[in-house]
Amino acid sequence: FDSNALPIENFPVFGYSIIDLDDIDNDRKIEFVCKDQENALVLYKIN
């Protein structure tokens, strides 16, 4: 949910691990990385 308690579009997303939540590419937007069911890394960008 966003700061107004509204659902965020295209969420929830799925992952099979603990996430890393950070501005990974230094663009001042939050991204998070997790592992999928096939052990591949998945990067989600939050706009």
| β-strands 20-22, 31-35 pairing | antiparallel
CB 24 within 8 Å of CB 33: yes
**pTM across the whole model:** 0.61
Tens of pLDDT, residues 5-42:
888 887 777 889 999 999 999 999 999 899 999 999 99
Terminal alpha carbon distance of the chain = 13
